[in-house]
């Protein structure tokens, strides 16, 4: 039930009225005051039109059959004056509609001819192909989409289908139909290439940009990204893309795994019980702390082992050497005023005891990465 300022109906009546008004507007044309005489025809058109909600015409729903077709009228075919008048009005209306369509076509032709130019090609001509009708839509960051070349080629015309269509000799791997409207072609001036250049990849009718090479890499909020130079685009249009996105969209593309990061990232922390850190200071806890920092770099920041430089100072050299002795692909290790072992710092001993801590002197031979030792 609908009341003032509280509409609750589904609007079916209003929707049907809008359709009827549209029919009457088309039928009356420049004689809107004669709408009443066209109302039966509007009702007939509405009843015989397909309804998406019914998936059928209202006429067939009510009567179970299609409406009878209306024959063309010849004067004198019927003796009923009302029927003759109705058929004559219908014939006049159809003639009026035919005239309006011819006028509309003339207007459209005039607008088309104003900007149209005739283009003719011959078999053997080299032409450039325009693919702007297949708008680019693939990568999340499409900043370079507008900067892609408007024409591709050149390609040779191998057959003229008719005056407005030509067949081109496309590369064998092209996924495009080789017949194009002449409006998409432009005559190529210059020396033709030895082999036709490749077309860009097309997926679902859309031109997909292809990566040419990875220029450099960086970490953006913990996500590893590479600067991609796209085929056919200028170096200034290179875009930063997530490594995972590039690998999923272009599995055959060879990423430069050894590409160095554009900028490094320092991870600084206190060991348990030192500085502002809570917990109990112990050798075991320092090993657990540096292990957690290493996992943070790998899992949260996307760093690789060969990109990491370990740094340890004084007692911190103990967990640093311990981790470095277990990793074989570190970029480097920096030890600032390192200790030989905990016991050797306190006593002038020459051997390692089982109860000693931070036994750097025994673990340093196991470190295979470059090591820089600083003593001040």
pLDDT digits (tens, 9 = 90+) for 103-149: 888 888 888 778 777 778 888 888 888 875 443 332 233 334 555 66
Cα–Cα distance, 227 to 217 (Å, whole number): 6
CATH, residue 217: 2.40.50.40
Q: Is residue 1 part of a domain?
A: no
User: In terms of DSSP bridges, do strands 206-208 and 211-220 run parallel, antiparallel, or are they unpaired?
Assistant: unpaired
In the chain, the number of structural domains is: 4
58 and 76 housed in the same domain: yes
> Tens digit of pLDDT for each residue in 149-166?
677 778 889 999 888 889
Q: Please check whether residues 35 and 95 belong to one and the same domain.
A: yes
Provide the token pair at 80: 């009923």
Asked if 216 and 288 sit in the same domain, the reply is no
Asked whether residue 268 is domain-assigned, the answer is no
Closest CA to 311 of 326, 295, 323, 296: 323
How crowded is residue 247: how many other Cβ atoms within 10 Å of its Cβ?
Answer: 12
109 lies in some domain: no
Q: What is the mean pLDDT of residues 35-46?
A: 80
Q: Pick from 80, 99, 118: which residue ends a domain?
A: 99
Read off the pLDDT of each residue in 89-115 and give the average, rounded to a whole number.
81
- Cα 153 from chain centre: 24
Residues 136 and 189 both lie in one domain: yes
Q: Answer yes or no: do 168 and 234 share one domain.
A: no
| Residue 260 counted as domain residue | no
For residues 36 and 72, membership in a common domain is answered with yes
Q: What is the pLDDT of residue 120?
A: 83
User: Does residue 271 sit within a domain?
Assistant: no
Q: How confident is the model at residue 4, as a pLDDT?
A: 55
Q: What is the mean pLDDT of the chain?
A: 78
For residue 264, the model assigns a pLDDT of 59
Domain span at residue 235?
211-249
Q: Are residues 132 and 178 in the same domain?
A: yes
E strand or H helix that includes residue 200: none
Scan for tokens 């055959």, then name that residue: 252
Q: What is the average per-residue pLDDT within 179-191? A: 86
What pLDDT score was predicted for residue 334? 92
pTM above 0.85, yes or no: no
Rounded Cα–Cα distance for residues 16 and 334 (Å):
81
In a domain, 131, yes or no: yes
Q: Are residues 351 and 296 in the same domain?
A: yes
The Cα–Cα gap between 248 and 198 comes to 23
List C-alpha distances in Å: 188 to 191, 194, 195, 197: 9, 14, 15, 13
CA distance 359 to 344: 9
Contact 329/310 with Cβ under 8 angstroms? no
| Region 34-56 average pLDDT | 81
Average pLDDT over residues 172-184: 78
Q: Which two tokens stand for residue 316?
A: 């911190």
**pLDDT at position 204, please?**
56
Distance separating alpha carbons of residues 105 and 186, to the nearest angstrom = 28
Please check whether residues 202 and 217 belong to one and the same domain.
no
Q: Name the 3-class secondary structure at 342.
A: helix
Residue 7 has pLDDT above 70, yes or no: no
* Measured distance CA(159)–CA(124) in Å, rounded: 8
- Find, among 263, 261, 245, the residue nearest to 253 by Cα: 245
115 phi and psi angles, rounded to 5 deg = -110, 0
Cα dihedral angle (354, 357, 360, 366), rounded to 10 degrees?
60
Q: Choose one of 99, 116, 138: the last residue of a domain.
A: 99
Flag whether 7 is in a domain: no
State the average pLDDT over residues 245-259: 70
In three-state secondary structure terms, 361 is: helix
How large is the C-alpha radius of gyration of the chain?
40
> Domain boundary residue among 178, 207, 236?
207
What pLDDT is attached to residue 143? 38
Rounded to whole angstroms, the Cα distance separating 340 from 314 reads 10
Q: Are residues 140 and 220 in the same domain?
A: no
Residue 110 falls inside a structural domain: no
Check: CB of residue 39 under 8 Å from CB of residue 33: no
Question: Within this chain, do residues 291 and 365 fall inside the same structural domain, yes or no?
Answer: yes
For position 358, what pLDDT does the model report?
A: 87
Do residues 69 and 42 share a domain? Answer: yes
């Amino acid at each position: 039930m609908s009341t003032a300022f509280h509409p609750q109906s589904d609007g079916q009546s209003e929707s049907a009225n809008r359709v009827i008004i549209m029919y009457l507007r088309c039928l009356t044309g420049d004689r809107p005051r004669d709408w009443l005489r066209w109302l039966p025809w509007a009702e007939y058109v509405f009843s015989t039109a397909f309804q998406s909600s019914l998936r059928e015409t209202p006429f067939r729903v009510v009567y179970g059959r299609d409406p009878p077709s209306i024959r063309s009228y010849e004067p004198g075919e019927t003796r009923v004056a009302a029927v003759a008048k109705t058929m004559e009005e219908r014939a006049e209306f159809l003639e009026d509609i035919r005239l309006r369509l011819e006028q509309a076509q003339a207007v459209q032709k005039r607008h088309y001819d104003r900007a149209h130019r005739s283009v003719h090609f011959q078999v053997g001509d080299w032409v450039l192909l325009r693919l702007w009708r297949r708008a680019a839509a693939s990568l999340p960051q499409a900043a370079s989409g507008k900067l892609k070349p408007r024409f591709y080629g050149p390609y040779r015309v191998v057959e003229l289908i008719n005056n407005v269509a030509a067949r081109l000799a496309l590369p064998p791997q092209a996924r495009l139909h080789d017949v194009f409207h002449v409006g998409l072609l432009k005559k190529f001036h210059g020396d033709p290439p030895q082999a036709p250049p490749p077309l860009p990849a097309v997926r679902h009718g859309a031109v997909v940009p292809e990566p040419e090479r990875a220029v450099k890499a960086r970490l953006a909020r913990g996500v590893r990204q590479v600067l991609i130079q796209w085929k056919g685009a200028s170096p200034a249009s290179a875009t930063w893309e997530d490594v995972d996105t590039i690998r999923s969209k272009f599995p055959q593309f060879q990423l430069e795994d050894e590409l160095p990061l554009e900028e490094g990232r320092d991870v600084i922390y206190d060991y348990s019980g030192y500085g502002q850190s809570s917990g109990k200071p112990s050798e075991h806890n320092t090993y657990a702390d540096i292990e957690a920092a290493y996992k943070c770099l790998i899992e949260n920041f996307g760093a690789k082992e060969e990109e990491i430089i370990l740094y340890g100072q004084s007692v911190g050299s103990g967990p640093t050497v311990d981790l470095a002795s277990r990793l074989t692909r570190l970029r480097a290790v920096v030890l600032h005023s390192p200790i030989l072992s905990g016991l050797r710092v306190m006593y002038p001993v020459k051997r390692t005891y089982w109860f000693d801590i931070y036994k750097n002197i025994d673990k340093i031979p196991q470190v295979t990465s470059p090591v820089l030792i600083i003593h001040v």
